[in-house]
Copies of this chain bind each other. A is one copy, B any other.
Amino acid sequence: MTIINLDHISSNPLLPEVKTAMIEAIQMDYANPSSQHKKGEQAADVLESARESVAKLINCAVAKEVVFTSGGTESVNHAIKGVAMANAEKGKHIVTSNIEHSAVIRSIRRLKSLGYKVTSVSVDEYGQVNPQDVADAITDDTILVSIMHSNNVTGTIQPIEEIGKITTEKKTILHVDAVDSVGVVPIDVQALGVNLLSFAANPFYGPTGVGGLYIRRGTRIFPLLDGGVQENNKRGGTENLIGIIGMGVAAELARRNMDSRLLHTFKLKEKLLEELPNYIDEYIVNTHPEFSLPNLLSISIKYIEGESVMLMLDDDNIAVSTRSACATGSLRASHVLLSIGLSHADAQGTLVISLGIDNRQEDIMAFLKSLKKVVTTLRDISPLYKKTSRV
């Protein structure tokens, strides 16, 4: 069964080089990097070498500012809860935006139940935050600003550098959830002016369940996983060394091939945007025309349900998504789509098409052909379509 994968935002295939490295690691039977004997030291060397590769990808000068985690969600929880707990005596106010990932929203919601106050800034019709709104929201009591780098539903990229200037000036800790950006678009933690940056390996073709948290030296933060002295005392627990080795190789390749990957997926996205009107009508493009991920396109197709489109495309062996995979099971319309001003009906008609380096132009054409058929079928049975549009 060959499936055309246009759902890279949910999961990316592993690169061949990543597979090879992970398989080698499995065969090696590495010891515990914290053990002091020879076998332990050998494991520690491999761990630190992966850390160097990952640090370089985000232009982090001191590799030990990178802490390996079990993925984006752990990184985000560590950053938000860790800063909140460590700075509670300074203040209990957090600034965030209306379009964050559930890991950010729910971490902050947990803190709210513990007495923290939150200001959530709104976004424009493409999902962009206005940096001035962030500046206005910061008070003397603010201990943390958490804004995502790119949105996983619309692909829109935020003006983090401007926000970083504001938080630097106001001496507020800035956390950036860059899970869907690191390894996909250039990320420079120094230029962005962030204190904390969450990321994961899978968006750049590394394994799932492995991630990283950049913690700039001097940032006041508690660990989320208290325990042993691993990860420079910032995260207890024996490391997922096989996964980390895969992440290291993926990071190295992402850095080296960033430009060609960007170009490859951007061309496909352009083709898709250009051809779309030849196949369907009455749809909204939710993705920012300029500031957006090169590999993601979000569209809302009027009068039908994205869920039905997704399932019918699946019958044609084409994988897309309608929302964050992390929100599967929830029947509510995406909070991100409502925040950019879509009606409930339009939000329900949303498809997220996310491209990867393995996609070819034929995939786009096959998708469009199938989409046309599916949309026609669904609109033919949609009372909403007949009533609103064609009668």
Tell whether, in the assembled complex, residue A38 and residue B3 are in contact, meaning their CB atoms are under 8 Å apart.
yes
Q: A72 contacts the other chain (Cβ, under 8 Å)?
A: yes
Q: A29 contacts the other chain (Cβ, under 8 Å)?
A: yes
Compute how far the CA of A32 lies from the CA of B40 in the bound complex, rounded to whole angstroms. 33
Using A222-B110, A229-B330, A230-B326 as known contacts, say yes or no to A34 and B10 having CB atoms under 8 A apart: yes
Q: Chain B residues with Cβ under 8 A from A218's Cβ?
A: none
Residue from B210, B224, B226 in contact with A103 in the complex, judged by beta carbons closer than 8 Å: B226
Tell whether, in the assembled complex, residue A35 and residue B23 are in contact, meaning their CB atoms are under 8 Å apart.
no
Compute how far the CA of A325 lies from the CA of B110 in the bound complex, rounded to whole angstroms. 33
Tell whether, in the assembled complex, residue B208 and residue A238 are in contact, meaning their CB atoms are under 8 Å apart.
yes
Q: A13 contacts the other chain (Cβ, under 8 Å)?
A: yes
Interface size grouping (class) on chain A = 35 or more
Determine the residue in chain B with the shortest Cβ distance to A320. B37
Determine the residue in chain B with the shortest Cβ distance to A38. B314
Q: Chain B residues with Cβ under 8 A from A277's Cβ?
A: none
Query: Nearest Cβ distance between residue A305 and chain B, in whole angstroms?
Result: 13
Query: Nearest Cβ distance between residue A235 and chain B, in whole angstroms?
Result: 8
Query: Nearest Cβ distance between residue A69 and chain B, in whole angstroms?
Result: 8
Interface string of A123-152 (1 = CB under 8 A from B): 000000000000000000000000000000
Q: A284 contacts the other chain (Cβ, under 8 Å)?
A: no
Tell whether, in the assembled complex, residue A11 and residue B37 are in contact, meaning their CB atoms are under 8 Å apart.
no
Q: A311 contacts the other chain (Cβ, under 8 Å)?
A: yes
Using A32-B325, A228-B325, A326-B228 as known contacts, say yes or no to A237 and B74 having CB atoms under 8 A apart: yes
Tell whether, in the assembled complex, residue B237 and residue A71 are in contact, meaning their CB atoms are under 8 Å apart.
yes
Query: Nearest Cβ distance between residue A33 and chain B, in whole angstroms?
Result: 9
Interface string of A36-60 (1 = CB under 8 A from B): 1111100100000000000000000
Determine the residue in chain B with the shortest Cβ distance to A23. B23
Q: Chain B residues with Cβ under 8 A from A321's Cβ?
A: 35-37
Query: Nearest Cβ distance between residue A126 and chain B, in whole angstroms?
Result: 24
Query: Nearest Cβ distance between residue A139 and chain B, in whole angstroms?
Result: 24
Q: Chain B residues with Cβ under 8 A from A329's Cβ?
A: 34, 229
Residues 73-111 of A at the B interface (beta carbon under 8 Å): 73-74, 76-77, 85, 101-103, 106-107, 109-110
Which of A3, A225, A329 gathers most chain B CB within 10 Å? A225
Tell whether, in the assembled complex, residue B29 and residue A13 are in contact, meaning their CB atoms are under 8 Å apart.
yes
Q: Chain B residues with Cβ under 8 A from A13's Cβ?
A: 29
10 A-B pairs (CB sep. < 8 Å): A1-B38, A10-B35, A34-B326, A34-B328, A37-B310, A37-B313, A208-B238, A208-B240, A209-B237, A229-B326
A34-B325, A37-B320 known; 16 new pairs, CB 8 Å cut-off, are A7-B37, A10-B34, A14-B26, A34-B326, A36-B310, A36-B314, A37-B313, A71-B238, A74-B225, A77-B236, A107-B227, A208-B238, A209-B243, A224-B224, A228-B328, A229-B328
